[in-house]
Chain A
Amino acid sequence: MLPSLLVASLSLATAGWALHESDVGVVDWHTRLVGVPLQNTFHGDLILTATTSNVFAALNATDGSIAWRSIHDDDDPVAAFDVYNHSNVALLSGPGGSTLRTYDTSTGHLLLERRLHNPAHARRHEIQHVAITTGPGSVEGSTTLFALTNGDTVSRIDSRSGEVVWTWSSPDEGSLVVYSHIRTTPDAVYAVGFAKSKAAYTLHVTTLSIANGSTIASVNIPANLAKDRPSFVLLEAPTSSLAAPGPCLTWLESTSIRAAVLTPGLRGQVQILPGVNYTRIQDIGLAGAGQLIAFTQDGSAHVMRYDGESLRPMWEFTDVAPSQTHTESYFAGSLSEDGEPRIASVYWSHANHKAIHQTFTPRLAEGKGQVTGYTFPFRTHEHGVIRHVGSVSLYLASPLTPFTKVTFDGRSSHTHETTRLLLTTSTGTLQLWKHDVLQWSREEALSTIRVATFVPLPPSSASSSLSAGSTVGQGISGTVLTCIRRFSESILQHLRTYAVGPIIHEDGSTRSSGAPSALYSDQFGFRQVIVAATTEGVLYGLDSSDGRVIWRRLFGLGWASDRVGGRVLPVKMYVLPAKVGRVSDDGSKEETLKQTVVVVTQRRAHNSLVDTVVFEVDPLTGDDVPPLEDGESDASRSRYGPLEGKDVIQGPMIESFVLPDGQGTVAMLDEFLQVQLYPDTPATRASLANLAPSLHLVLPTRTSSTPSPGRGSDNDVSTRAQLVGHRLTFNDNVSTVHVAYPTWRIMLGPGETIRETIRNGKDAGQELSVGKVLGDRRTLYKYLNKHLRVVLTEAKGIGAQTGLESSGTMCGLYVLDSVKGTVLYRARLPAPEGRCDDVRAAFVDHWLVYSYFEDGTSAGGDGTKGWRIVSVEMYEGKKPDDVTRSFELSSYSNATTDITTYEQAYLIPYGVTALSTTSTRLGVTLKNLIVASRRRAVHSVPRRLLDPRRPLGKVSPSEAEEGLVTYDAVLPDDARLTLSHNYEVANIRQIMNAPSRLESTSLVLAIGLDLFLTRVSPSGTFDVLSENFNKAQLVLTIGGLALAIGLARPVVRRRQLRGRWYSA
């Protein structure tokens, strides 16, 4: 009873800093995202989209907000969807389309979930092999769905009950024919796919009876489709035609378009369209209306229409191929309100620097059509990727291809003013244009943030006198003097505000960001810039007070932008002191505040070459920071062009770190273990030479050396992963740069691979307390070794050795000293379902926390199943009061291994997707654990509950004095400890934190599909006015006292007077 009471009281105490409902959106913000769209469809006022983040979502077309979203697991990718009954959408997801789900399009309610096949038995094909379509007509409100799964199975499903009426499987089980499309007519289901032949693909069509799924006919159509990109378009006959013919299968063979009108019996002729040489055909979303776009060799595009009998060109768009004056045209089709198809064409004009939109409206009755156009001011510098396609020597202008996808809503009337155009740009931005006005824009690239960092803002000039310069590094007298000065200043200031204005609470100033141009910190440093690099090739600067995008820059592709193209994948990001503006000789404070952000990236060109490119940017404005060596400002460099990086390594990078010289030099190791520097100057080289003896690296490698003859049979050894410690050396006979050489090796188990290496998350701030005073006045000294690394591993196929009957996968966790390779702590963790993704760890100072799923297989059969968090603390020596001064101890001393670890495991009711600890400016405040859970929430776990020295029995007085509570295996699941409260913060991959200027408060940013930022005060907000501070109460009390004095004074006077008179 007592422990639970204690825990209850503790949780009550911790809930002291739970949020008020009114603080929602004031102290925190939340950006809901859906991911970079792959496929968009207008559905009334909704946009249905399937994204790369495995989300199926409906966006409101009017304001771009998310109407609803359905987030899928990684092993459940969205494969195909189709709207039916005007109000429902059917979705196939999973490997081979294993699961069918239907949703209400307006609310997102899940109506039905049905497994069509076991995902483990799914077949993989290179080409599309999942499709869903609806059957003709509906019976009593229930629509018939036809799903093509695995490329070889067609199922007829009742949409209301989810009952599978019949299933047809291809007799060859997908080995010869892979079906990719299905269409229905009132009497038959047409499944069309590719049949593999020696050199190319041919087409295969099978018709099935709607009623019972029996095969009516199965025909191979001799076609010669290129193997690399086989495609065909299945056009439906327009509904206006009377005969209701079957769909028209259209494909391109060498340069001519061929079409075959399909009938249930599959008897007919292949038509060949003569005369014009075509290069490509494209389905623009009008297949239902029997239209497609065919591109000709001479650079124009034809709108082809199937009228029920044959396929004919209907209209010609000229000059759609990319040229010097404009980019390639993108086409999108849509149906207008009266059901007439309309086709939009969008391209970027270099001459006008504007995007041009053309709409083609066919006038079928007259056999003609008309094209109308307008321009709209698309900002390609912010949203598009530059790709040089023209011949470089002749043309200086670089053509742009800013869009990757255009979705067009022609439903609105015939005037331009209401035409809606949805653009998906190459940077993952989703934009809706209504005529030439941008209605809204969604920065979906933010869901792909790979690395990010906080950059504190400079204080505004008004408050700089208050906050500039920290007290660290000054003498005591100086500190006292500044304190007195600040105190008097603030007293004066507060008196002024106190008399007239309302009290400025902790959260008051964050929202008052009136002018967006002036980027200044608020009083408490809550406003910072979050620089975030995404895999979509955009670098963002976000305002940490509200999540707004301050600036965005595109990563330039360097040489790869010329013809090749590629992607820039950010790997690391560092905040470094600026190398410019060092001229200010008096303002030393100003100089330290000036910072730049260096992003280390890997550029993967489309020709598979990988380079390491470094970008440097001003975090406040997003401007380029010119590298030190070329001081003259490059005229071509403008803040509006893409960010140009510097190629540092002609190849991939295996490790990077910042030289601890305070100059902000980034060192990178290439594949040959050579150290490349950024910036690479004689000064930085000299600095590296000085620091080289103190640098120790841990690199994962695979032994490639041939095994010695003695154990040549042991094939495992040659492929075993190793952890190899490295140091740096310089030999000018061999190389012009420093080279890393191995110092120690740890051979991992067979099949064990390294998943992740975690550095000690200790921030630059110094550790104030090196020990922990116990209740009996003895001290436990923290083991503070800055060379510690945590290595997470995954060992596959070790079941035979450890006697585990299950999947045979184990996860490993090692804490090791990177100087000597000593393993100080190790743990073997179970891997449910053979995966180690669930093992997460955070390491700061002497405290290691990790989480995993205990599947009950290890250590006894009755073990509970569930999520665990293990808290490990490392202290010096064997017992309290043992001191080895680990902080400054040489790593070669034997005493570094003289440690005691305390650990305890706790049960938590939720799966963990990311772990982190809070950090504050000086490190005085307790460090809470921040946990992102599978509940799509971010929780805070009080440090006191994670103390691994919690006594198992009754708390002794000395332990109570220390604040220890009795160990309880279950961590309290208090909703008030949920930082994200009502927000659904989905798929968090990473939690970052940054100290604010208040010691008590730390900023916590969760990055994943969504972004979420809040403030955490693990020890309470001890350095700001308490929120239950009551001005009215104070005023009333003082007033009351004054009144009492006023009343009592005459009485006392009278009494004193009387006392004097009558004392004798």
Chain B
Amino acid sequence: MNAELSSTSFAVDLLGFVQWNDVCPSYEELGAATVLLDSGGYSGRVTRSGNFSIPDINPGVYVLSVLSHDYTFEQLRVNISDASPKPEIKTYVFGTPLLSSSAVALSYPVVLSPRSRNSYFKPHESFSLLGMFQNPMMILMLLTAGMMLATPYIMKNLDPQSLEEFKNQQVKVASVQSSMQDGDFKSGLSTLLTADEKTKASTSGAKSQSNNSGSTIQQRKGGKGGKRR
């Protein structure tokens, strides 16, 4: 009995209120909310005026959290010691050590401000013709198609030297791309590339016959486009 009395004499009431803000302007919006210390051994409900009080807290360090269905609140650290009658309120970042030294002291009574309102839903994707053509895949497809049509003319107009250069460049780009797709950076690029190249060339060669100059480029481009789609 004696011990009980002494413990009650140290017990402190924690007072505070919810600061209505743009996120949560009123009690109607907030709904029923409860302020908890630790796992809920000490708790108090938020009243219509926004106030809450948690009575008879024994000395100790607690984490204050708010149980609200639709709103998120910051957690706070509450230090209640028998030395001072006023609880000590500090910031607390969820997931950090409780007694972190970087905590900032806050005023008492506790002020709780709703941080954000939970948004549970994702919006529907609406269909629009413009949106369809803004899709990067679509743009890529159109570009590829355009290139397919345009390459013969461009090739015709290029001089043989730059054509050779262009071919080499193309090969390099393709090798990088193919290795990226395989997800294997370590294995030798060139060997892989050549093997790849050969198979591709053979399949493409077997399939179609067309003018010599732009055949490889054209085939690869076409193949790429198909893959992507």
Contact = CB atoms under 8 A, between A and B. Distances in A.
A861 B123 CA distance: 45
B163 to A, nearest CB: 24
A107 B69 CA distance: 18
B118 interface: yes
B48 A104 contact: yes
Given A107-B28, A109-B28, A110-B45, 18 more contacts: A19-B121, A110-B32, A110-B47, A111-B48, A112-B47, A113-B53, A115-B55, A833-B39, A853-B38, A864-B98, A867-B39, A935-B67, A935-B68, A957-B185, A981-B121, A1028-B125, A1030-B127, A1036-B129
Most buried by B among A71, A832, A865: A865
A869 B119 CA distance: 24
Interface string B51-82: 01101100001110101111010010000000
B56 A115 contact: yes
A865 B98 contact: yes
21 contacts: A73-B40, A107-B28, A109-B27, A111-B47, A111-B48, A113-B47, A115-B56, A118-B55, A855-B38, A862-B99, A865-B62, A909-B75, A911-B40, A961-B183, A970-B94, A976-B119, A981-B120, A981-B121, A1030-B127, A1033-B132, A1036-B129
A18 B97 contact: no
B39 A863 contact: no
Interface string A413-452: 0000000000000000000000000000000000000000
B228 interface: no
Contacts of B188: none
A70 B32 contact: yes
Interface residues of B, number: 50
Contacts of A935: 67-69
Contacts of A44: none
Given A19-B122, A113-B53, A118-B56, A838 B39 contact: yes
Contacts of A911: 39-40
Nearest to A110: B47
A654 interface: no
Interface string A856-896: 10000111111100000000000000000000000000000
B129 A984 contact: no
A936 B62 CA distance: 23
Nearest to A968: B95
A934 interface: yes
Given A833-B39, A934-B67, A973 B72 contact: yes
B203 interface: no
Contact of A832 (B38, B47, B98, B132): B38
* A-B interface, 6 closest residue pairs, ranked by CB to CB distance from nearest: A975-B118, A981-B120, A115-B55, A970-B95, A21-B121, A853-B39
A969 interface: yes
A909 B52 CA distance: 21
A57 to B, nearest CB: 12
A1053 interface: no
Contact of A866 (B52, B94, B119): B94
Interface string A1-31: 0000000000000010011111010000000
A1063 interface: no
A1036 B129 CA distance: 9
Interface in A167-183: none
Interface in B111-145: 118-125, 127, 129, 132
B122 A976 contact: yes
A1032 interface: yes
Given A115-B56, A833-B39, A970-B95, A15 B44 contact: no
A909 B97 CA distance: 14
A907 B97 contact: no
A914 interface: no
Contacts of B118: 975, 978
Most buried by A among B39, B69, B95, B98: B39
A22 to B, nearest CB: 7
B159 interface: no
Interface size range of chain A in the complex: 35 or more
A698 interface: no
Interface string A78-108: 0000000000000000000000010010010
Contact of A833 (B41, B47, B52, B127): B41
Contacts of A978: 118, 120
A910 B36 CA distance: 11
A1 B67 CA distance: 29
Interface string B162-190: 00000000000000000000010100000
B97 A862 contact: yes
B22 interface: no
A935 B33 CA distance: 9
B135 to A, nearest CB: 9
Interface in B17-48: 27-28, 31-32, 38-41, 43-48
A982 interface: yes
Interface string A959-991: 001000000011001011010011010000000
A229 interface: no
A976 B121 contact: yes
Contacts of B129: 1036
A937 interface: yes
Contacts of A981: 120-121
B48 A109 contact: yes
A1058 interface: no
A867 B95 CA distance: 10
Given A862-B99, A909-B65, A22 B48 contact: no
A121 interface: yes
Contacts of B63: 865-866
Contacts of A855: 38-39
Most buried by A among B53, B67, B118, B120: B120
Contacts of B199: none
Contacts of A111: 47-48
A973 B120 CA distance: 11
A866 B53 CA distance: 21
Contacts of A110: 32, 45-48
B4 A121 contact: yes
Contact of A20 (B69, B94, B123, B132): B123
Contacts of B120: 18-19, 975-976, 978, 981-982
B210 interface: no
B194 to A, nearest CB: 24
B110 to A, nearest CB: 15
Most buried by B among A15, A935, A978: A935
A23 B70 CA distance: 19
A970 B65 CA distance: 16
Contacts of A113: 44-45, 47, 52-53
Interface string A327-338: 000000000000
Given A832-B41, A853-B38, A118 B8 contact: yes
Interface string A812-849: 00000000000000000000110000100000000000
A855 B63 CA distance: 10
B94 A909 contact: yes
B96 interface: yes
Interface in A978-1028: 978, 981-982, 984, 1028
A255 B69 CA distance: 55
Interface in A46-70: 70
